[in-house]
Amino acid sequence: MFNMKKSVAALAVAATLGISANAYAGNNDGGIVVSVSDSAEMPLSDVSVVIRNTETGFSRSVSTDGDGNLRVGLLPVGTYEIVANKDGFDAVTLGSVTVKIGQNTNVYLVLYPDNVEKISVTGTAIASIDFTSTESALNISAVELERLPVPRNVTSVALLAPGTTEGDSRFGNGNTVSFGGSSIAENQVYINGLNVTNFRNGVGFSNPPYDFYDQFQIKTGGYSAEFGRSTGGVINAVVKSGTNEFHAGVNAYFIPSDLREYRPSVKDADGNYVTYRENDKSSSTNYNIWTSGALIEDKLFFYAIYNPRSVESTTDRTLSDGELNKESDD
Judge if 219 and 255 occupy the same domain.
no
- The residue among 174, 205, 239 that closes a domain is 239
Judge if 254 and 314 occupy the same domain.
yes
Report how far residue 311's alpha carbon sits from residue 257's, in angstroms, rounded to the nearest whole number: 10
What per-residue confidence (pLDDT) applies to 228? 74
What per-residue confidence (pLDDT) applies to 18? 41
Q: How many domains does the chain have?
A: 3
Distance of CA 235 to the CA centre of its chain: 9
What's the rounded mean pLDDT across residues 153-173?
Answer: 87
Q: CATH number of the domain that 210 lies in? A: 2.170.130.10
What's the rounded mean pLDDT across residues 185-199?
Answer: 91
Confidence of residue 241 (pLDDT cuts 50, 70, 90): very high
- Does the pLDDT at position 230 exceed 90? no
Q: What is the pLDDT of residues 86-130, one digit of tens each?
A: 999 999 999 899 999 988 999 999 999 987 776 666 665 555 555
162: in domain: yes
Judge if 216 and 254 occupy the same domain.
no
pTM confidence score = 0.78
Report how far residue 5's alpha carbon sits from residue 207's, in angstroms, rounded to the nearest whole number: 11
- 293-328 b/e with 16+ CB inside 10 Å = b? bbeeeeeebebebebeeeeeeeebeeeeeeeeeeee
Percent of the chain with pLDDT strictly greater than 70: 82
- Does the pLDDT at position 44 exceed 90? yes
- 3-42 b/e with 16+ CB inside 10 Å = b? eeeeeebbeebbebbeebeebeebbbbbbbbbbbbbeeee
111: Cβ contacts below 8 Å, ≥ 6 apart: 36, 37, 38, 39, 44, 47, 84, 86, 89, 90, 92
What's the rounded mean pLDDT across residues 11-32?
Answer: 54
**Residue among 295, 202, 173 at smallest CA distance from 244:** 295
Judge if 213 and 264 occupy the same domain.
no
What per-residue confidence (pLDDT) applies to 274? 83
What's the rounded mean pLDDT across residues 65-74?
Answer: 95
Judge if 197 and 273 occupy the same domain.
no
Range of the domain at 93: 30-111
- The residue among 219, 239, 259 that closes a domain is 239
166: in domain: yes
Percent of the chain with pLDDT strictly greater than 90: 53
Q: CATH number of the domain that 47 lies in? A: 2.60.40.1120
10: in domain: no
Distance of CA 276 to the CA centre of its chain: 40
- The residue among 222, 239, 256 that closes a domain is 239
What per-residue confidence (pLDDT) applies to 261? 87
CA quadruple 215, 300, 6, 184: dihedral sign: positive
What's the mean per-residue pLDDT of the chain? Answer: 84
In 3-state terms, what secondary structure has residue 177? strand
Judge if 144 and 208 occupy the same domain.
yes
H/E element holding 244?
A: none
